[in-house]
Structure 1
């Protein structure tokens, strides 16, 4: 058994009921379906879609935990499941939280010098925020 197999065997895999409850509490825009936790991000254009994909890719690579991604012109769907553990683990919840925080970040709502993308000009529309 390799070190990766041993480590994965020690990771807690959550039951479907536990996953559903945790998503409801901590990640309400994510859902559990067919063994994955999933989130669809709506965007305004292909450019925005690619930026979301690259953001998710960067976070996943830095975390060394890799999602499945499906994309179209105006959406990105992120699916997480710990393949080594064969289920949903803390790695999935933690990466989902980080993705959610970064993709849904709206600087204009924080005040300060960063104004965010202009809401009144569709040429600069980005993510369709929740």
Structure 2
């Protein structure tokens, strides 16, 4: 609900999620309450691509709409698979807590994680495909 609406309004899941960070860090918002907002933000961010795809015309309009719908279905599917089941819902939160604790203890680990996740893994996939 809230995450979807907020993200549709600002057209950025990053803004919605970034607003949660200081609230959670200050103890104003529990992680368990921030998590559904984050999931909603991921669904809400698909609206921008859908609007752009629906405005497209011509030969490639179908391809654009297909990609936008894949984006929507991927995010909705993830929410349907994870959120209704409490044990599944706890997994991302536990992993995030573990990673946050590890990053607080070792900034080098946090840097390695970011470099690995956002640079090395994409390059590896690009090379393999």
Pick the structure with greater CA Rg: 2
Tell me whether the two structures share a fold, i.e. TM-score over 0.5: no
Question: Between Structure 1 and Structure 2, which shows a larger proportion of strand residues?
Answer: 1
Question: Between Structure 1 and Structure 2, which shows a larger proportion of helix residues?
Answer: 2
TM-score (norm 1): 0.29
